Amino acid sequence: MMQAADWTYPTQVRFGAGRIGELAVACRSLEIERPLLVTDTGLAQSSMIVDTVEQCRADGLGIELFSKIKSNPSETNLADGLAALKAGNHDGVIAFGGGSALDVGKVVAFMSGQTRPVWDFEDIGDWWTRADPGGILPIIAVPTTAGTGSEVGRAGVISQDESQAKKIIFHPRMMPSVVLSDPELCVGLPANLTAWTGLDALVHCLEAYCAKGFHPMADGVALEGIALIKTYLQRAVEDGTDLEARSGMLVAASMGAMAFQKGLGAIHALAHPVGALYDTHHGLTNAVLMPYVLRFNQTAITEHCDRIARYLDLPDPSFEALFKWVIDLREAFDIPGTLDKLIDDDSQFEKLAKMAAVDPSAGGNPIELSKDNCLDLYRSSFCGEL
């Protein structure tokens, strides 16, 4: 069993079963007395949220709940969250849930004291320097899925209502100050969501390791994250009460998010527009697209994949061995083999391709992305042409 531990990298992470019991202490360490707990609609009535709110109130905190969040959060969700924050005169945010809740909670805390529109802080160049750092409230993150790793990230993904495009909002101080990483909170996650979020973590690690640029620390973290996923994901899917597997996946998800500060790539660039326009689950969309992008990038990532395959101790370690492992993993979790199982038709492929080519994740792909090759990738993934 993984031991309970505290570490800083650079976020302060309090890891281990039962650590949710330290929430009030964590709030007070950041001088938070009136936290806004941000979660999603599906979790809002769950026993873990109800019990957490009751315990915080018993500990003297003026906590309130906000949960109007879609699975692919929109600027309307953000605006509603900001309104709730200001109406309650809250002095900090507890972002509690999966990636959607964590992202909205972080951006709500970030925007609490800003005067410019949120889109002025998109992850482009040095746009983050436009922010007033004094207007950012402290954030505590409590993940309940092992996928996005948003609990240790410096950004949040929000869909723009008018353009329907997903935008990455970035600021270094959007990184939570404290993370309570408690595997017991993941126990009730259904098998399909465990698989989808776990494959999202795998994509983060794979894309970060293969992304352009030189970042040996990120590479090392990504590589070990993939190994943890190989060890624990199938166990977590098969037995959701396996706390060691849940622990291993929580760690792997955080490692993926730490690693992708190096960059991501075409899987995310393609998945973001699909999620924005069709409201598909992000992890599932990544999982469907993953082998098509791996094959597209093959000439540029062969050596990377050889190293990953050796580290995973796969038979005949090579690109093809890693590719087969990915395919086998998807099949074991009943992941659709083609994009047409997620979206009805290909009528918006031109629009999707334009959006994908300029997505912030596109720049990390080892082969330069254009509207044309993004269009080809959508078509091949829709028809199953590997």
User: Of the candidates 154, 185, 216, which is a domain's last residue?
Assistant: 185
Residue 1's pLDDT band (cuts 50, 70, 90): low
Total domains in the fold of the chain: 2
pLDDT at site 234: 98
215 and 158 in a single domain? The answer is no
CATH (domain of 228)? 1.20.1090.10
Asked if 237 and 356 sit in the same domain, the reply is yes
Domain that holds residue 10: 5-185
218 and 236 part of one domain: yes
What is the Cα gyration radius of the chain? 20
pLDDT tens column, 308-325: 999 999 999 999 999 999
Give yes or no: residues 261 and 236 share one domain.
Answer: yes
Same domain, 278 and 378: yes
For residues 241 and 320, give the distance between their C-alpha atoms in angstroms, rounded to a whole number.
Answer: 33
Residue 146 has pLDDT above 80, yes or no: yes
Task: Report residue 259 CA to chain centroid gap.
Answer: 12
Asked which of 150, 169, 185 is the last residue of a domain, the reply is 185
Rounded distance, CA 15 to CA 225, Å? 16
The residues with which 93 forms a beta bridge, in sequence order, are 36, 139
Whether residues 98 and 119 share a domain: the answer is: yes
More confident residue, 70 or 270: 270
Which domain CATH number covers 177?
A: 3.40.50.1970
- pLDDT higher than 90, residue 3: no
Higher pLDDT, 162 or 38: 38
